[in-house]
């Protein structure tokens, strides 16, 4: 298990400049691959007017979770609470920040060197495109599939303990505290704290703080299924 309380990493001095062909962003790392057994997770904040991440794809599966501000995603209005999953080589976007800015997490289980922007990267689409799905609300947002993928948002009442869904049969899980506070194994977790659980680990016991909490649980596909899906 890897735990990243937001109080450890969510500090202005840790934000790094990031750019795309159409915008400027600030990126704050949550998990770095060289420090967290290959995990790659970071928070992205827009830093220029209508900052845009163009249509592109990645070579690994990933989740994105929109947590603040607004804008458009795949030409639809976007706001806090939207969870998005893509398989490798699935083209998605654009992401365009609105006047109030836009903040979102990117969560991966392994390193990815960056987006392949379209249409210039069309020749690099060597794998078979798969899922490109998003939803918001409470409950099951992304249906649980045979390869382990699935995402839920769970509301926990003040002082109640959540036993998280088992990671068995998945490729691993990320848990993201969307709102409120909680404790885990004696560690206090504030809003936007992040936890990763491996497929062989036990479910977690997460106890909500005085105001309750809302947590997203996002499961990844098993590595063997990823390889088969992209034709590796």
Per-residue pLDDT of the chain (232 residues; tens, 9 = 90+): 999 999 999 999 999 998 888 889 999 999 999 988 999 999 999 988 889 999 999 999 999 999 999 999 999 999 999 999 999 999 999 999 999 999 999 999 999 988 999 999 889 888 777 999 999 999 999 999 999 999 999 999 999 999 999 999 999 999 999 999 999 999 999 999 999 999 999 999 999 999 999 999 999 999 876 655 565 5
- With vertex at residue 178, the alpha carbon angle to CA 47 and CA 85, rounded to the nearest 5 degrees, is 75
**Contact call for residues 197 and 126 (beta carbons, < 8 A):** no
CA distance 220 to 141: 14
- From residue 96, how far is each of 37, 72, 73, 113 by CA, in Å? 32, 5, 6, 21
52 shares its domain with 67: yes
Q: 3-state class of 170 per DSSP?
A: coil
Q: Which of 90, 114, 135 is the last residue of a domain?
A: 135
Taking the mean position of all CA atoms in its chain, how far away is CA 32?
Answer: 14
30 Cβ contact partners less than 8 Å away, ≥ 6 residues apart: 4, 9, 41, 42, 43, 105, 194
207 shares its domain with 195: yes
CA distance 10 to 29: 9
Residue 231 inside a domain? The answer is no
Residue 230 inside a domain? The answer is no
Q: Which domain holds residue 157?
A: 139-223
Q: Which of 101, 118, 135 is the last residue of a domain?
A: 135
Residue 123 inside a domain? The answer is yes
Beta bridge pairs of residue 25: 18, 46
Give me the pLDDT at residue 12, please.
93
CA distance 150 to 93: 21
Give me the pLDDT at residue 228, please.
56
- With vertex at residue 107, the alpha carbon angle to CA 98 and CA 180, rounded to the nearest 5 degrees, is 70
Tell me how many domains the chain contains. 2
90 shares its domain with 186: no
Give me the pLDDT at residue 20, please.
83
Kindly report the CATH number assigned to the domain that includes residue 109. Answer: 2.60.120.10
156 shares its domain with 128: no
Q: Which of 135, 158, 175 is the last residue of a domain?
A: 135
129 shares its domain with 203: no
Give me the pLDDT at residue 32, please.
95
The pTM of this model reads 0.94
């Amino acid at each position: 298990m890897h735990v990243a309380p937001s109080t450890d990493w969510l500090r202005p001095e840790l934000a790094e400049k990031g750019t795309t062909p159409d915008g400027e962003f600030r990126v704050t790392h949550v998990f770095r691959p060289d420090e967290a057994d290959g995990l790659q997770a970071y928070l992205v904040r827009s830093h220029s007017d209508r900052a845009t991440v163009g249509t592109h794809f990645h070579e690994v599966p990933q989740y994105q979770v929109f947590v603040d501000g607004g804008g458009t995603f795949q030409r639809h209005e976007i706001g806090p609470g939207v969870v998005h999953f893509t398989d490798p080589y699935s083209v998605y976007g654009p992401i365009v920040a609105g006047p109030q800015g836009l903040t979102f997490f990117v969560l991966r289980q392994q390193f990815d060197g960056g987006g392949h922007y379209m249409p210039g990267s069309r020749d690099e689409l060597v794998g078979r495109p798969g899922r490109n799905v998003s939803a918001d609300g409470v409950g099951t947002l992304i249906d649980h599939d045979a390869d382990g993928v699935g995402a839920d948002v769970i509301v926990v009442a003040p002082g109640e303990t959540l036993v998280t869904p088992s990671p068995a049969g998945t490729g691993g899980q990320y848990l993201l505290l969307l709102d409120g506070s909680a404790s885990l194994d004696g560690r206090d977790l504030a809003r936007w704290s992040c936890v990763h659980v491996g497929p062989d680990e036990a479910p977690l016991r997460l106890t909500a703080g005085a105001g309750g909490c809302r947590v997203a649980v996002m499961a990844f596909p098993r590595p063997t299924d990823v390889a088969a899906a992209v034709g590796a």
